[in-house]
Amino acid sequence: MSINNATPQDWDRLRKKHPALEVPNPTIDESLMKVYLDAAEEEINKVVKETEWWHQHIENLENLERRELADFNNSWDTAQEESDTESDVVNSPDHYNTGNIECIEAIEDSMSPAAFKGYLKGNCMKYLWRYDYKGKPVEDLKKADWYLSRLIEMVEQQENSYE
């Protein structure tokens, strides 16, 4: 009988003549297996890191990181230049001037003088509180200064009206 001409009956006879070995289900010690797998990974890493491919790969990654960083810095500088010329993000941000009235004026008109002073003080405190965490410390300090100047102006006007 050749393998190419074997029939299902031939395979059944072969199975009866040579039964499969029964192997008990071994219990795998997973902690021991982890030791072996970690050792194998360490050995593979050691071998791979000695290859020329690895050194070239690391060099390519470093070059890519340098290029990406340079591209990011260039795009950041360009964005900063554009934003400096397009709008004043501290004194008159575009997103607060979408209608005929500035947002700050609408807020002031909706509040009593005491409430509006509290609003100005709160915003000043907010920008002072977070200036060191958002990535634009000078901008946030200028915003705090803007709210403080507005508060000083309001308090001076109130003092002058009492005189």
| 101-139 pLDDT tens trace | 788 888 888 999 999 999 999 999 999 999 888 888 999
Closest by CA position to 104, among listed 137, 149, 135: 149
Q: Per residue in 2-41, pLDDT tens? A: 667 788 888 888 888 888 777 666 666 777 778 888 888 8
Share of the chain above pLDDT 90, in %: 21
Among the residue ranges 92-96, 118-122, 141-145, the one predicted with the least confidence is 92-96
Structure tokens at 154: 């309001």
Structure tokens at 74: 């260039």
Average pLDDT, the chain: 80
Same domain, 108 and 155: yes
Give a yes or no: residue 122 inside a domain.
yes
| pTM across the whole model | 0.43
Give a yes or no: residue 33 inside a domain.
yes
Query: Considering Cα of 138, then 144, then 148, then 150, what sign does the dihedral take?
Result: positive
Structure tokens at 65: 């990181």
Same domain, 78 and 106: no
Provide the domain count of the chain: 2
Q: Give the range of the structural domain holding residue 118, as residue numbers without chain letter.
A: 97-162
- Secondary structure (DSSP) of 1-54: --GGG--HHHHHHHHHHSPPPP---PPP-HHHHHHHHHHHHHHHHHHHHTSHHH
